[in-house]
Amino acid sequence: MTTPLNERRIANAIRVLAMDAVQQANSGHPGAPMGMADIADVVWREFFNHNPSNPNWPNRDRFILSNGHGSMLQYALLHLTGYALTLDDLKQFRQLHSKTPGHPELGYAPGVETTTGPLGQGLANAVGFALAERTLAAQFNKPGLDVVDHYTYTFLGDGCLMEGVSHEASSLAGTLGLGKLIAYYDDNGISIDGEVEGWFSDDTEQRFLSYGWQVIRVDGHDHDAIRQATVAAKQESNKPTLIICKTIIGLGSPNKQGKESSHGSPLGTDEITLTRTSLGWDTEAFVIPDDIYAAWDAKDQGQALESAWNELFAKYESQYPVEAKELLRRLHGDLPEEFVQHADAFIAETAAKGETVASRKASQNTLQSFGPILPEFLGGSADLAGSNLTLWKGCQGVQDNPAGNYVYYGVREFGMTAIANGLALHGGFVPYVATFLMFMEYARNAVRMSALMKQRLIHVYTHDSIGLGEDGPTHQPIEQIASLRNTINLNTWRPADTVETAVAWKSSLLRKDGPSALILSRQNLPFQSRSNEQIAQIEKGAYVLAAEQGELKAIIIATGSEVDLAVQAHAQLEGVRVVSMPCAEVFMTQDAAYREAVLPSHIRARVAVEAAHADYWWKFVGLDGVVIGMTSYGESAPAKDLFNHFGITVDAVVDAVKKVTT
């Protein structure tokens, strides 16, 4: 051990703030911050380029705390280095409306780059950040003018490595050779249940070497060793680096260090007193000496770093004004000025063509139209691009061309989605990811995280119902659409034809405050004729597609492939209107007058039809209505036979309307 006493004392500031805040909250995880304090000291004071006065400086390094339960580590770092996070904020750790929630949450404390709750996803986000940096750099940097040039640092623990998403993301990171990704593994051998050797005996070094990473082992309390490892990591430009840091959880606590008792609960007042003595720390709770603050303060250095970058960018801007303007536009998240006009022209052209194709094909046609004017697109698929049709003619894979716009994610649905969250969070890109709707289940938690963080990310899910046919019940989604619709802040679109598909893409791209899911068919969907007014109303989430003849007596609500069933039934009935509802979430945000115009409240005779879980629709049809949908899993058979077998037919819709109107 070669760490000078003064370095250890500087790192101890993290330890005391972590144990004090957790104790005051009577809740939290002091062990990880205390164990990783020495690593954090070296990384943040010597390598991490950031500006506390401007947390959104575009060329800052990114820091991701994947073992987010140790959030007081990050909050202590932000406070000590000079971010707008006060001691009072630390004293409010885990309290209502505080800036310091139990896990790092995007939008609460300045300097927090992502929400890291479920273990492993922070590491996957970090892969996305690193991929975004490399791709953006390849697209914009010029000789001698590297305006995009920063690292992604991530801390992670045993739990992150036990979660399968870490395998998916790390495997792809190694394959892509993301050399500016540096991960520090807190190898303390402890989880909440105790010593992990009884349930986690992986050879982590060999595992990451097999992924194509550089792996370095160090004593996680030896500042010189951590420093040298980080230098070596930055020198390796073709591989991500994992630095395995052997640490003692809760270091400094005489009776709890190295034990699970320091992991997920406060140390206790008596133990904190002993720990202060052990650390040689003689101040009361939440008091940091001035010389320690001075050692940590990064404001002047951060401002100097940003000023130097501003000078570099000014040179870039003078020599490459078009590229500079484009880079700033993309970092701000603004779409090209001509996008809306272009999208509307394509929608009108699509309506004029009147093609009957699968909505997955309609989606590809839309991508082919929108892609050339959206260089911020960074698409990808979990090995099914030939089936979900997410490739368009301008796609170039990032594995062959670092400046490309498409990621071949392989069979990694969870990793893909969590990585894409990192892409969106980094800025400069609008990512879309794709797989079969049934396999959304593998990615489910990362979908929730994109909604929780309000990121513009488009989830493309094809083969949307029993209509996929012969692959059978394991591949036929039933409850998945309802699950997505019940996800707060996620807009779920299930378009009925080419026009609705194009509008769904336009709406999803214009949305800046959350993700969207596009639910697309394998089978062809008949084109539906509409007026210009009806086309404009698609963006409202629901509209009257087929008006009633005479007095309105009943309403049929349908989505996707079942809209045509409703239209065919409409032709056999009087006094019935068909409402196409491609996006219920968007419809429910419309004003009351519009909702009433589409679904008059006095018309209680309602039928909903969708080849998915029936229960979702009761809130729209009421107890007096009828829902035609799925109440069981599917079967293996041709699609036409399945729709007949499960009673999702025109005759069934007609009979249901007659039932609710008698």
Q: Residue range 58-82: average pLDDT?
A: 98
Residues 347 and 478 both lie in one domain = yes
Task: Tell me which of 303, 323, 351 is where a domain ends.
Answer: 303
Structure tokens at 481: 């659409």
In this predicted structure, what is the pLDDT of residue 119? 97
Residue 533 lies in a domain: no
Active site annotation includes 413: yes
State the chain's mean pLDDT as an integer: 97
pLDDT of 208 higher than 80:
yes
Q: Encode pLDDT of 486-509 as tens digits.
A: 999 999 999 999 999 999 999 999
Q: What is the DSSP letter of 186?
A: E
Query: Residue 5 — pLDDT band, cuts 50, 70, 90?
Result: low
Q: State yes or no: 119 annotated in a binding site.
A: yes
pLDDT of 640 higher than 60:
yes
163, 260, 413, 610: which one is catalytic?
413
Q: Encode pLDDT of 601-617 as tens digits.
A: 999 999 999 999 999 99
Buried b (16+ CB within 10 A) or exposed e, 525-537: bbbbebeeebbeb
- At residue 627, the 3 state secondary structure works out as strand
Q: Domain of 438? A: 338-519
| Number of Cβ within a 10 Å radius of residue 425 | 23
Query: Residue 3 — pLDDT band, cuts 50, 70, 90?
Result: low
Residues 261 and 167 both lie in one domain = yes
Q: State yes or no: 645 annotated in a binding site.
A: no
Q: State yes or no: 131 annotated in a binding site.
A: no
Of 377, 375, 366, nearest to 343 by C-alpha is 366
- At residue 442, the 3 state secondary structure works out as helix
Q: State yes or no: 29 annotated in a binding site.
A: yes
Residue 525 lies in a domain: no
Q: Encode pLDDT of 128-180 as tens digits.
A: 999 999 999 999 999 999 999 999 999 999 999 999 999 999 999 999 999 99
Residues 74 and 30 both lie in one domain = yes
Query: Residue 4 — pLDDT band, cuts 50, 70, 90?
Result: low
Residues 71 and 29 both lie in one domain = yes
Rg (CA), the chain: 28
Output the domain CATH number for residue 260.
Answer: 3.40.50.970
Residue 346 lies in a domain: yes
Residues 277 and 387 both lie in one domain = no
Q: Encode pLDDT of 25-63 as tens digits.
A: 999 999 999 999 999 999 999 999 999 999 999 999 999
pLDDT of 84 higher than 90:
yes
pLDDT of 187 higher than 60:
yes
Q: State yes or no: 386 annotated in a binding site.
A: no
pLDDT of 244 higher than 50:
yes
Q: State yes or no: 159 annotated in a binding site.
A: yes
Task: Tell me which of 252, 285, 303 is where a domain ends.
Answer: 303
Residues 165 and 111 both lie in one domain = yes
Q: Burial of 278 by CB count in 10 Å (0-12 exposed, 13-18 middle, 19+ buried)?
A: middle
Residue 630 lies in a domain: yes
In this predicted structure, what is the pLDDT of residue 476? 97
Residues 268 and 185 both lie in one domain = yes
Q: What is the DSSP letter of 336?
A: P
Total domains in the fold of the chain: 3
Residue 315 lies in a domain: no
Q: What pTM, to 2 d.p., does this model score?
A: 0.98
- At residue 25, the 3 state secondary structure works out as helix
Q: State yes or no: 641 annotated in a binding site.
A: no
Quick check: 535 and 350 in contact, CB under 8 A?
A: no
Residue 535 lies in a domain: no
Task: Tell me which of 303, 329, 352 is where a domain ends.
Answer: 303
Q: State yes or no: 387 annotated in a binding site.
A: yes
Q: Residue range 190-204: average pLDDT?
A: 95
Residue 524 lies in a domain: no
Q: Encode pLDDT of 107-118 as tens digits.
A: 999 999 999 989
Task: Give one word for 216, left, alpha or beta, with left for phi > 0 and alpha for psi -120 to 50.
Answer: beta
Residues 185 and 244 both lie in one domain = yes
Q: Residue range 80-92: average pLDDT?
A: 98
Q: State yes or no: 342 annotated in a binding site.
A: no
Residues 166 and 244 both lie in one domain = yes
φ and ψ at 433, to 5 degrees? -135, 155
Percent of the chain exceeding pLDDT 70 equals 99
Query: Residue 1 — pLDDT band, cuts 50, 70, 90?
Result: very low
Buried b (16+ CB within 10 A) or exposed e, 335-354: beeebeebbeebbeebbeee
Quick check: 480 and 630 in contact, CB under 8 A?
A: no
Structure tokens at 530: 């509409």
Residues 226 and 351 both lie in one domain = no
Q: Which amino acid is at 410?
A: G
pLDDT of 2 higher than 90:
no
H helix runs in 462-546, sequence order = 480-485, 498-510, 532-537
Q: Residue range 174-198: average pLDDT?
A: 97
Residue 455 lies in a domain: yes
Residues 350 and 240 both lie in one domain = no
Q: State yes or no: 552 annotated in a binding site.
A: no
3-state per-residue secondary structure call for 243-271: EEEECCCCCCCCCCCCCHHHCCCCCCHHH
Residues 64 and 138 both lie in one domain = yes
